Chains A and B, each alone.
Chain A
Amino acid sequence: MIGMSTRHILLGLLASGPSHGYDLKRRHDERFPQARPLAYGQVYTTLQRLVRDGLAEIEGTDSDGGPERTVYRTTETGSRELAHWAAEIAPPAPFVTNEIFAKVVVAILSGGDPAAYLRAQRAAHMRRMRELTAVKSAPGADLATVLSADFALNHLDADLRWMTTTAARLTTLTAEVDAA
């Protein structure tokens, strides 16, 4: 997920109780099914940084018959930091310099075919929307899956609306870019 802080996600998962790295990775991938799975290396590096910054601490080790694992828990400071982050407003328009927008302008500047690009991009967006719709409307889809698919669908839909309006405006846009 773009701009999402692994630190805060791990702190959030630790908020429900002490846990070890392997378990945190597994729970992350379950909770955020559309996100890229966390790499183990990233989980352990982040946990070490949380400890260094006083946001988490080592509770002990747990072997449970298998290899020995370090169990982490959140600290007072960690809980305060998490509450602060969770209440903080995200920037409302983080995607204003979008790749799709850039490609349309570059296509116009370089005498390419922005309309053809928009049609192809639109088809790719629709394919992804169909996949996400199938995922979320499958019988037994859990809430985390539905919510994350919805989030992606609404953003793709916003892109599509922009692409539709832009396709209709290409004539005007081409004239403006040429004159500049």
Chain B
Amino acid sequence: MNNAATPGPLLAARDLVKAHGRTPALRGASLDLRAGEILAVTGASGSGKSTLLHCMAGIVRPDRGSVTYGGQRLDRLPEKRLSELRRTDFGVVFQFGQLIPELTALDNVALPLLLAGTPRSRARERAGEWLERFGARGQEELRPGEMSGGQAQRTALARALVTGPKVVFADEPTGALDSLAGEQVMTALAHTARESGTAVLLITHDARTAAYADREASLHDGTVVTEDTVLEVTP
């Protein structure tokens, strides 16, 4: 558990409403993510989990409601500021790593640093360190087509964390993996996030994956129906 005595949530969604065409995906969803915590969001397919993640990560804008991050309204930020913030403060991992097929593992992980202006040799050095933290040492020169599912996800996680984000958004990161590979990926993610104090919003339909989190919020028909409360530690 992280009880870093943080005053308020790091990222807060309030009464989010979002429809895809005429199909409502979120119908007033509210959720708090605290600094440094791992929060699992569970729910059946179609309950709105991924849409909630996309809204909270500033990837899509909600139709109504607000997303507040570090005191600023994400849903109102101009696109340029938003994409800058996503690059510096957020990391994202999807079910399929979405690595760039032409690049090696090392270059995939180094890419966000290069985009942020880090010199090439320094970027590659740090990428190597992060691959090692995710147990992917010796896989630096593999291209995505040559990787197992677990290797690809570990590379994707290293890429999401290499810039030192405050929040990592992980949408079914183990969904395409067998249970042992999924377990290794989750163990690496949980350890690394706790070590670096990164908050994780983890979308999953699998209870064994959700059990790596500090707490859980369940979604049903586009609203958060239950949310574990965190025991407040009085100093």
Contact = CB atoms under 8 A, between A and B. Distances in A.
B191 A157 contact: no
A163 to B, nearest CB: 10
Interface string A120-135: 0001011001101100
A160 B207 contact: yes
A137 B212 contact: yes
Interface string A139-176: 00000000000000110110011001000000000000
Contacts of B44: 164
A36 B191 CA distance: 29
Contacts of A129: 207-208, 210-211
Interface string B202-235: 0000011011111010000000001010000000
A164 B43 CA distance: 10
B187 interface: yes
Nearest to B205: A164
Interface in B125-169: none
B207 A157 contact: yes
A156 B228 CA distance: 18
A119 interface: yes
Nearest to A156: B207
Interface in B151-206: 186-187, 190-191
Interface residues of B, number: 15
Nearest to B206: A157
Contacts of A160: 207
Residue from A119, A130, A157 with most neighbouring chain B CB atoms (10 Å): A130
Contacts of B228: 123, 126
A133 B208 CA distance: 8
A161 B44 CA distance: 11
Nearest to A125: B207
A136 B91 CA distance: 27
Contact of A133 (B211, B216, B226): B211
Contact of A153 (B190, B208, B214, B226): B208
Nearest to B184: A137
Contacts of A123: 226, 228
Residue from A119, A126, A129, A153 with most neighbouring chain B CB atoms (10 Å): A126
Contacts of B226: 119, 123
A43 B190 CA distance: 40
Contacts of A157: 207-208
Shortest 8 CB-CB distances between A and B: which pairs?
A: A129-B211, A133-B211, A137-B187, A160-B207, A130-B211, A157-B207, A157-B208, A133-B212
Interface of B: 44, 186-187, 190-191, 207-208, 210-214, 216, 226, 228
Given A133-B212, A137-B187, A137-B190, 12 more contacts: A123-B226, A126-B207, A126-B216, A129-B207, A129-B210, A130-B211, A130-B212, A130-B213, A132-B211, A133-B208, A137-B212, A154-B208
22 contacts: A119-B226, A123-B226, A126-B207, A126-B211, A126-B216, A129-B207, A129-B210, A129-B211, A130-B211, A132-B211, A133-B211, A137-B187, A137-B190, A137-B191, A137-B212, A153-B208, A153-B211, A154-B208, A156-B207, A157-B207, A157-B208, A160-B207
